[in-house]
Each structure stands twice: as C-alpha cells, then as structure tokens.
A and B are shown apart, each in its own frame.
Chain A
Amino acid sequence: MTENLTPNPVGKSVRRVDAFDKVTGAAEFTDDLQFGPGLLYGHIVRSPHPHALIKKLDASKALAHPGVKAVVTGEDTPGFIGLYLQDRHIFCTDRVRYVGDPVAGVVAVSEDIADQAAQLVEVEYELLPAVVDPLQAAQPDAPLLHPDMASYEAVPFIFPQPGTNVSNVFRVRKGDPEAAWEQCDAVIEGEFRVPHIQHVPIEPHVAISRWDPSGEVTLWSSTQSPFAQRDLIAKTLGVSQGDMRVIGNYIGGGFGAKAGVSMEALVVAMARKVQGRPVKLRVTREEEFFCCFVRQGLAAKVKIGGTKEGKILALQVEYYWDAGAYTEYGVNITRASGYSSTGPYRIPNVKTDSYCLYTNHPVGGPMRGFGMPEIHWSIEQSVSRLAEALGLDAVEFRLKNCLRGGDTIVTGMKMHPMGLDDCIQKVADAVEWGQESPPSAPHKRRGKGVAACWKAPAMPPNPGSEAWVRFNEDATLSVGLGGQELGQGTFTVSAQMAAEALGLPFEWVRISRPLDTKYSPYEWQTVASRLTWSMGNAIKAAALDARRQILEIVAQYWDEDKDDLDIRAGEVVSYKSERSLSLKNMVVYGLPLPDDEGWIGGPIMGRGKFMPSYVTSLDPETGQGKRAVVHYTTGAQAVELEVDTETGQVEILRLAAAYDVGKAINPELVLAQIEGGVVQGASSALLEELKLVDGQPVNPSFTDYRIMTAVDAPRKILGEYVEVPQDDGPWGARGVGEHPMIATAPAIANAIYDALGVRFNEMPLTAERIFMALQE
C-alpha cells in the first residue's frame, strides 16, 4: 500500500478496480456460482405462435418423466408484473402474445432432463390473428392484444387507452405549427422505420432462485436492477420485500436487457414449487434474441420547416412504437421520446403524438439510449434535409438552432448550462468538415455526415440512491453501493469519488460487492446513465459524513477547531497547529483522551443518499410542465466514410464523437464509453435487425444476426468531451453511458447521402440495401 498511491483521484484516469479479476478469470459471474449437487435446473416451454388462446395445458407426462421435480404454469402465477404498467403474467394464463411467451416451466435434476421433459408438456392453442406492425396495431379494427387493459395498474404518468392497442400516449402541443408552416421557406416530410434489434450482451441471462422454509426467497441474477427485481417480484408473488433477497454478481454486459424484470420472475416462481432447493435457469443464445427484451421498433412520421435565415420554425412528429406483446417498461420509452421529440433544438411550434402500441412481437424493453437512437434516426436526417433544402450547411444550421443554456425546451423547461455547440464544433473540426478528399478507388464514393443528440435520464420523478462508507482497521475504506458494474466502470468511478471526498488515496478504497439487497444500500436501477450523477451524489454525501465524524473526533482530541482540520492522503492534518494523525486504527478504535479520561470516537461509518426533489409532471394534453427531467446530456458525432458502389459496403474512415459530461471523473472511462457506444451504434446502423416474419423470429443466432466484429468495427474513433458542470452533479458530473450510441446511425445515414445522393429512411444500411438502391 505504499507504492503508487493516488490522492485526489477525481479527474484522473486511474485503472479499473475490477480489471485484475476480469483478466485472471477470478471475476465471478452468476453462472459461475457453485450450488452443489442439490442444484435443480429449469427449462421454459414457450409459445410457438405469435397470438393464440391456450385451450388446454397437460403437464402430466412431463411430471411423470424420471428426474422431473415440478412443472409450473400460469395457474401458479395469477398476478401481474410490470415496472410502469402491470400488463404481464409471469407465466401465461389464458393466452400467448408472442413467439417465445412462457407457458410452463419444468424443473428437473439436470438441464438435459428438463429439456426432454419440456417436450412432453402438451399445449393446445386456438390461433388468433396476429398484429405484426405498429401502424396495423393503431388501426381501429386491429385485433386487440390486451382486452383487459382497463383493469391494469399504471403509474400516474402513463395513459393506457382501453379498447385499443395503445398502452400509452404522449402529446406535445406548443405554439401553432399550422400557422408556422406558412412562414417556412422550406418544409420537409419523411417517414422512417427502425426495426427491432437486440442488446446482445455476450453473457446471456441467467438466474438461480431458492425458497427457504423460513420464507426467505433468494434470487441470484445477472441483473442491472437487484432492487427493482426485489420489489416487483416480491409484490407479484405476495412476498415481503424484507424477505426477498437479490444477489447480483458481475454481469457480462447489460445495455438495458438486464434492467427491470424479464426471465428472473420465472425461476423464482419455479423455485417456489421445490422449497429448499436452488433452481437455475439459463436462457440459450437463441432465447436471448427474442425471449427477454428487444429494442422496440419504430415507425416515425416527421414534418419540419424553417426559414432561409436558418431558423427551424415548426415540427410535427408522430411516433408509432412497435412495443411488442407487453409494454410494462416500454410505455416510458414512448413518453421519453415525446418529451424529447424535438432533438436538441429550439423549435417554437411543435406538435407531437407518441403512441405505444402492442404488437405480437417480442417484448420491447429498455436499450441503451431508451428511444433516443430511434427518434434521432428520423430527427437528425430531417434536420440535415431541411438544411440542404434551405441551402445551408448542416453544421452551421445545427449551430444556429441547437439549444444553449437558458433556452426554453419543448416541454417548457429551462435548459441548464451545457456545451452542445462546443461538441458540434469539435466533431466537425475532427473530420475536417467542408474539406473533400478523393476516394480510394474509382468505384468508391466518399461522404461526411453530422448528427447531434440529447438524452435525459427517463425515470420516475423520485428514483433514489443510498450509500455508506465504512472504515477498516488499516484505514482502507469499504464503500457500500447498490448500482451495478455492467462494464461501464461505475465501481471505479465510485471508488474515486469516495476517496476524493474523504481525502484518501484511491488505492485505499474497496467496493463492497457483490450487490446484495440484504446488505447493500438502495439503488433504484442501473439504467438511464444515472449512476455517476445520482449514486455519485450519495457516495459523496456518505464520504463527507464520515469525514465530518473524523474531524469532530480529532478536533476534540487535539482541542482544536474542526474547521482548521483537513484529511489529506489518509492523514488528519491541522493547518493551525501543523499536527498530523494517521487514520489507521483511530477510524475503528477511536482515540484515548489525555490523563486516562477514557476514549472518544469508535468505528466510523458514513451514510448518504440522493433523490431528485424537483421533477414535476407534464400536462397530458400539451406535454408542458415546469421540469420534466433532471437534466440532459448533449453531444454530437461526425463521420467520414466510403461506399463501394459495386458491393454496397460501407467503410467508416473516421468517426468523431463529443459529449458534454459536466465533469469527467475518469477521462479514459468516458472515452471508453464513447468508443463502445459508437461501435454499438455503427453496428445497429449497418448490420442489425431482428427479422420477424409474421411474428416468427428468423435470425436468432450470431450467424444470421451479425454484430460488428473486430474486423468490421471502425478503426479511427475520435472521442472528446467538454465539461460544463451540472449544478447538482458530483463535481459537476452527468452521465454519458448511453449517449454515444444515439447520434451514430443518423450521422452515418447523412454521410451516405453525402456520398451517394441517396436517402435511406429504414435501418439497417446493409450492403444489400445500399446496392439495391444504387440499381434503381
């Protein structure tokens, strides 16, 4: 502990605290946990049909199969589950709504036997007409997926429309777009499509559950949301949250797929039938593609107009979200896309209608960007088209219209200080915007494109964070937190913030993991790019609380004023008397008073919490309100690429991305998020689509659903950040985990247009799609 100590680590690119375990194989992921020979295994019987009534279910043959311990069906799980809208049974009861909908769960002594027995569960279906497109779902005569919608419970800011397939609607009515069109020198209209894609964490979902005779229920799961899983599953199964324990080890990628509850409730319900025995459920890669969460599809209609002076005057958008069979989480994507529907621009006249539609597609859930990559696909192409129609440069046009601190945004909220204009300028400079370079071969074409973006954490108004810090005898500090390490580096950043606030070297901090709802402090969910900001505030508060306690004790011990004292590099120092005292031992054992008068102090434990207190609701008719969100992170991307006109293949030559992160707590981790997000965005733009034919997924494997490999990924990623502080962020920080994925696809589409003069309104921009377009 003496070598290479890092005092004041905030703002420094310290090494990740989890890296050693991850390069040695020591990092424990959920499937690595050992449960001994008592472990049972589950297998899920899933619907082969996109929409059908369950007429009969007979599990007797499966139950009679040697080695089978239990079969669970919808009869065992009558309640509803859901984060924002409770519209989902754990196991289907009377009907199935997507290919993959769970109808039964078999528990057996081995995975092989569970698989075999699952084949013996007999289910009789009566097929119903399927709804496989969001515009079809919105028709008044469309088959209804949820006839009982009127009885579903929803949070107050979600508005289901019983008797239709609309599970939420969000509207903006601002200014007078109809009158404004008249004043526009150019008006652009377009219809855009974004297909379902999948998160593709390299670790598929896995969970183990055990019910103890005492009534305590334990769930070990690969999860971004141990506390949300505790709350939702406990409520649905009638268990006290105090008796429900969720343990979250390292997770092999999340990207939103492992937020909320997807397959975890299944295994808890299965374990209930075999009390005392742990039951493990692993989804296969094939199941991962369509049986947990997918990204929602989107059909968007956009109309945007501006003046020849370069001012955007009006915007009208309709978003039809293909939200899948259950929209318990997706309803809030619809809302977020509505209140952010303008993109990061000042637009005085806005009409927005955002609809969440049930379809017989896989369950749409949160995915990195939470609706923003999808809507920016349409907004940012439309903005570039409008600039072109007005004869203006795409970068200049964005600089002219982009939001600045103090502006009023689409919902009426006042924008906080931020540096979007700086980001746009930085990425334009990085790709030498305005300068042309010749293609590498005669049959290739080069182009450049730009896109800006914004995203706010989309969440309830009151998601809380809690933290504690606790000293060990040698003055190392254990930090308790409830936010999950998904790979984004939150454990490292948390350790940096705790060390900085307390005055310890970074190397003295230990993160208390794995997460365990029985011992870890509360955290709503690891989603929405909210941890650095929200959990960071809680950790900072906990560290400052411990610091205050230490200074009070030492002040009394030295008979000095605590305002003259400080903690630096693990020592209490007095600026007045120039005394110093090591934290070792005193942070647990306290200090002896002079003349054998006894002792003061004792084990130091600091606690902190954070919850935003200022978020207000929005008017359901106009979408206007005082403050809809906590803040926005903004940024921009620019790309230079080359298209091979003989094959349709796109090569990204350089891709610049810049975000205003408020304060980079760990600059290299910020850049790592940018690089990874950009590649995930580029992969979605060029390669990815979960293909569904009449509701049947046809490409659920890595052979048929390609994600970018090391060969495909752009090589030159130019990441940058600017730092305009967030007033309520720790050291001014705000989140950036999701944002790098948002602007990538539209920037690429704009660059392809620049290269070829062809617009693509539908993703992905596969070589085939580009080649076919060039033949027309």
Chain B
Amino acid sequence: MTRHTINLSVNGVREYAEVPSHWTLLKLLREGLAITGTKNGCEAGECGACTVLMDGEPVNSCMVLAVEADGAEILTVEGLARDGKLNALQQAFVDEGAVQCGFCTPGVLLTAGALLERVANPSEDEIREALVGNLCRCTGYTRIVQAVQKAASEGIGG
C-alpha cells in the first residue's frame, strides 16, 4: 500500500504523518494524530460532525483526503480556546445552553465561527443557512442560534 508523507499544521502546531492514499483528513486527525475532538458521524459528508477549518474554510474532514491536506492549516475544536480560556463563541454556547450531548458541537462551533469571520452580524436566516450541514438531534437548534447571535452581538468572531 502506497503511503504518503503529510506535513500540515493543526491548531498552529506542525504535524507530520505517513498515511495510506485512501485515508481521509478525519482519519488522519482522529487515528493518525489522536486529535479526537473532531467527530465521526457518518463518513459521507452528510452530518457535519467532522467539520474542521482548512485554510480558514469549513470542510467535512471525512470528504477530504489526507493527501489533499498536505501543507494546509487545519483548525479543530481543540484550537479554539487559548490557555484554558474559552473564545466568545464557546462561552456563548455554555451560557446559552446550546450544548446537550455535545457530539455535533465541535463541528457546529467551527461552522458558526467561520460564519462570524465572514459576516460580523448575521441574521437568523444567515445563521440557520450556514448551519444547514451540521445536524443536531438534541437541541432543536434554538439555543445554538441564540448562542451564535450572542457571540456576534459581542462583536467577537470565532
């Protein structure tokens, strides 16, 4: 089996791995690097639980081959807090009760964070449209939307 050398940055830290051709970025993160905050919900690009930012853009990491991520900068949920201090969006999720089981949360935080980078003060429609690829079965989305609005109102993006 052909193996490929991958150099990439994950949450600002340089990582190196040798992976088979068919490995996805999700598999590289979770099983190659043991960075497990990113979740595996369907491996088909449909649920959004594995969303990470690749060079600033949200992607389903189960739909990206690890070799495509060679040289990329990846941001996962582990990279959001700094020195144990939550960012504004994370804090809003805690304060608004936007977390229940927590399995969709990492992907939702990254998608919503990317939205706030792009649009400082998104409307409810824009928030819901942005999150359409992140399935949540627990919350009914209400408090997730409220949390994104709260983070936006504080003027601090993801």
Contacts and interface: CB of A to CB of B under 8 A. Distances in A.
B157 to A, nearest CB: 16
A285 B47 contact: yes
Interface stretch (A57-65, A147-155, A502-510, A704-712): A704-712
B86 A284 contact: no
Nearest to A15: B94
A703 interface: yes
B102 A672 contact: no
Contacts of B76: 25
Interface string B133-158: 11111111111110000000000000
A365 interface: no
Nearest to B40: A31
B144 A710 contact: yes
B94 A200 contact: no
B34 interface: yes
**Which range holds the interface residue count of chain B?**
35 or more
A203 B94 contact: no
Contacts of B120: none
A27 B101 CA distance: 10
B137 A255 contact: yes
Contacts of B145: 710
B44 A701 contact: yes
Contacts of A18: 99, 102
Chain A interface main SS type: loop
A702 B136 contact: no
A711 B49 CA distance: 17
Contact of B101 (A15, A487, A680, A714): A487
A693 interface: no
Contacts of A254: 101
Given A203-B39, A680-B137, A709-B135, A15 B102 contact: no
Interface string A187-231: 000000000000111111000000000000000000000000000
Interface residues of A, number: 57
B142 A717 contact: yes
Interface centre among B37, B42, B93, B140 (most CB of A within 10 A): B140
Nearest to B106: A25
A13 B139 CA distance: 16
A251 B101 contact: yes
Contacts of A29: 36, 39, 103
A713 B140 contact: yes
A715 B142 CA distance: 7
A203 B103 CA distance: 7
A112 B61 CA distance: 19
- Say whether chain B's binding surface is mostly helix, strand, loop, or mixed: loop
Contacts of A677: 140
Nearest to A715: B124
A710 B127 contact: yes
Interface in A670-710: 672, 675-680, 701-703, 707-710
A201 B137 contact: yes
Given A25-B77, A680-B137, A702 B47 contact: yes
Contact of B36 (A16, A32, A201, A676): A32
A710 B40 CA distance: 20
B105 interface: yes
Contacts of B137: 199-202, 253, 255, 676, 680, 707
Nearest to A671: B97
A16 B102 CA distance: 11
Interface in A102-133: none
Nearest to B136: A202
A22 interface: yes
Interface string B82-107: 00001000100111010111111110
Given A22-B102, A25-B77, A702-B42, A672 B143 contact: yes
Given A25-B106, A675-B140, A675-B142, A204 B131 contact: no
B132 A709 contact: yes
B80 A24 contact: yes
A708 B124 CA distance: 16
B55 interface: no
B41 A672 contact: no
Contacts of B97: 13, 15-16, 19, 668-669, 672
A703 to B, nearest CB: 6
Nearest to B94: A19
B15 interface: no
Contacts of A680: 137, 140
A486 interface: yes
Interface string B115-136: 0000000001001110111111
Given A15-B94, A34-B34, A707-B137, A27 B102 contact: yes
Interface in B21-56: 30, 34, 36-44, 46-47, 49
Contacts of A676: 100, 137-140
B46 A703 contact: yes
B101 A486 contact: yes
Given A252-B101, A675-B143, 19 more contacts: A15-B94, A22-B105, A23-B105, A202-B49, A203-B39, A252-B39, A252-B41, A252-B103, A285-B42, A488-B100, A669-B97, A676-B100, A676-B140, A678-B140, A703-B46, A709-B131, A710-B127, A710-B132, A715-B142
Interface of B: 30, 34, 36-44, 46-47, 49, 76-78, 80-81, 86, 90, 93-95, 97, 99-106, 109, 124, 127-129, 131-145
The 5 A-B pairs of least Cβ separation, nearest first, read A25-B37, A252-B103, A487-B101, A22-B102, A679-B140
